[in-house]
Structure 1
Amino acid sequence: MTIRSRRETVTFRHPFRIRGIERLLPAGAYEVITDEETIEGLTFSAYRRIATMIMVPAEGVRDSMEMLSIGSVDLANAQAADASAA
């Protein structure tokens, strides 16, 4: 089984919350890492998501970042809420 990681930057224009993270996160650009594993037994290459993490400013530690596990649906919901905020 092969695992790959994809990285992308998502930008929030407003302070936001993501389910599972107990604090309000500031607006800005965030790195999101998605780990995927191959689906074996197919005649073509296919992957399934196994983990989604976001890099956020560490709480109480200046100039440090922490990687937190989040749900991909929760991330999509936070992005939709940010896009619809006035």
Structure 2
Amino acid sequence: MTTRSRRETVHFKHPFRIKGIDRLLAPGAYEVITDEEMIEGLSFASFRRVATMIMVPGAAPRTPSMEMISIGSVDLSDAQREDAGAAHE
């Protein structure tokens, strides 16, 4: 099975929460990694998302470390939408 990973940086202007992470995260830039696998048997290349992870600072007392936490892509989109909406309140 062919897999690929995409990396992108997402930015939050306000403190935010994402389902699956039990703490409030600070505003800033966060790296998001999306793993995808190729759908076999098609006449063209097509991939499906199999995992989405976000890199966040470690929780106390491991604050200087980074954690990679699996999240839902819809939960990430919801957090980004709420962050964008907070700017207009």
TM-score band w.r.t. shorter chain: over 0.9
Residues 46-67 of structure 1 show CA distances to partners (whole Å, capped at 9, x for unaligned) of 0000000000000011321000
Q: Helix, strand or coil: the match of 2:40?
A: coil
Q: Which residue number corresponds to residue 72 of structure 1?
A: 73
Q: Which residue number corresponds to residue 82 of structure 1?
A: 83
Q: How many residues align?
A: 86
Q: Which residue number corresponds to residue 3 of structure 2?
A: 3
Q: Which residue number corresponds to residue 54 of structure 1?
A: 54
Please list every run of at least 4 consecutive aligned residues from structure 1 whose deviation after the TM superposition is greater than 6 angstroms.
none
Name structure 1 gaps, 5 residues minimum. Answer: none
Name structure 2 gaps, 5 residues minimum. Answer: none
Q: C-alpha root-mean-square deviation of aligned residues, in Å? A: 0.6
TM-score (norm 1): 0.98
